A and B are shown apart, each in its own frame.
Chain A
């Protein structure tokens, strides 16, 4: 029977203190891992017999401007389809050098999801076969979902939404 405790034990056995911050908000086991072992963690979760997380449920990125040196997070969510259990983990990257190894070798799912994360956040997935923009035009020279970009054009004063709490961060 696969439980969150079992998964956590297997992971700490294998990776020691390179996986940390375990918690289970809303029932889903979440943790952080070192940037350079993301593929090892993914591969272990996928190929270990007791774990069997063969399904990459989701992959996305998050921008935390206040965490210096760890501004960009790449979030992986995997699922063991037979047991119906999901895990989620994050790896962090420096926004000045946002290199993260690509998961396309393990999961075909990762291909477009990583392109999306690159397009929106500028995460450089090292080894990706076709890392080009997927939603926005190729000529775009910034990554729009980073927090420094406001939603509205700054020159427009008629759309000042500060009253309603929509302040650009």
Chain B
């Protein structure tokens, strides 16, 4: 204990007029494992240096050693607020590689799942903006409805957060009546709660003053930084993968793409809210469309790639052979390079897959939206107050799992 304390100060730190603040990596206000080394002049931020990689799990390396049907659980853990979208995106990438076409009912079922998870994702993000501006009520209130969404996922696939939902070629089992009842219940009760949530925030003086003009970015800079999703649309660019590169029959649906103008926290919040309403409308349309289709179809006829039911594996020769071929990697996979992207909860989630015909991908790259736009964070928060930096971070919908992959 008598040892002399030898404190090594960085050069130039004694006469320095500014102070350095470590925001994170385990700070409650950052909602995830983020570290920002802020250079502060009093309460004002002069510069920020984000450090990432705290929960890096080498998914791209893992994916090179997993059979195609085993990669879905990896995608769960990217943006874990809307894992079903990631799962579907991966299935669709592989289906694009093998050139499969899916029955309309499967595509509409996927649309229902994806839009539900978009609602869940946006609810978390928007209510957390409320928490960071001092209003806890909205967060507690809408989480009841996120719970209803998770119960629907649970009914379909058995799990809630990291869903691993669906299979290559469709779903592992059909939607039961309970799923439709739960959907019905959600669609009946949620709009009223959403209206109240909007009443609570949209014209709330405190909320508006905390968010308007905070964390803004112009359209041109946003494009240069590779923004996608609600954050890009808040700057006024109507780029949405669902309409720009339609997938899973989104072209059959009638919906609009809300855009903002200033790209600040308030605009992002409003864009997400409107997207929730659009998603509700898409789900309603999808349920209507499904009613007219053959209710027994829940996967495509792809015996070479779609794992058969266990019951059939035990009792049918064909199913046993295909099961063996898929699990042992005896299926012929086409070679090629394919890129497929879906509109995730926070932007364009892309899969760049290189197949050399083997059992596993030769290379799989995830284009993670928030990894790409998080690098704009120093530019956005420069010159703002510390409290604004926290709100800005939550409004960008940054998910540590997705950034670090």
A166 cross-chain contacts in B, Cβ below 8 A: 65-66, 359-360
Q: Indicate if A54 sits at the interface (CB-CB under 8 A).
A: yes
A-B contact pairs, 15 of them (CB 8 A): A26-B96, A26-B339, A54-B223, A56-B226, A57-B226, A57-B348, A58-B352, A58-B365, A81-B237, A81-B244, A108-B225, A134-B52, A144-B61, A151-B62, A161-B65
Q: Are A62 and B239 in contact (CB under 8 A)?
A: no
Q: Indicate if A113 sits at the interface (CB-CB under 8 A).
A: yes
Q: Which of B237, B367, B374 is close to A57, meaning CB atoms less than 8 Å apart?
A: B367
Give the complex CA separation of A163 and B50 in angstroms: 43
A-B contact count (CB 8 A): 97
B interface list, Cβ under 8 A from A? 52-53, 56, 58, 60-62, 64-67, 96, 221, 223-226, 237, 239, 244-245, 328-329, 336-339, 348, 350, 352, 354, 358-360, 362-363, 365, 367, 371-372, 374-376, 404-405
Given known A-B contacts A26-B336, A58-B365, A151-B62, A108 and B226 have beta carbons under 8 A apart: yes
Q: Are B61 and A145 in contact (CB under 8 A)?
A: yes
Q: Indicate if A92 sits at the interface (CB-CB under 8 A).
A: no
A interface list, Cβ under 8 A from B? 25-26, 28, 30, 54-58, 60, 62-63, 75, 77, 81, 84, 86, 88, 107-109, 111-113, 116, 120, 133-136, 144-145, 149, 151, 161, 164-166
A165 cross-chain contacts in B, Cβ below 8 A: 67, 328-329, 358-360
Q: Are B339 and A88 in contact (CB under 8 A)?
A: yes
Q: Are A25 and B372 in contact (CB under 8 A)?
A: no
Give the complex CA separation of A120 and B225 in angstroms: 22
Shortest beta-carbon distance, A11 to chain B, in Å? 19
A81 cross-chain contacts in B, Cβ below 8 A: 223, 237, 239, 244
B96 cross-chain contacts in A, Cβ below 8 A: 26
Q: Which of A63, A136, A145, A151 is close to B53, meaning CB atoms less than 8 Å apart?
A: A136
Closest A residue by C-beta to B341: A57
Given known A-B contacts A81-B223, A165-B358, A113 and B372 have beta carbons under 8 A apart: yes
Q: Are B336 and A145 in contact (CB under 8 A)?
A: no
Give the complex CA separation of A48 and B372 in angstroms: 25
Give the complex CA separation of A47 and B374 in angstroms: 25
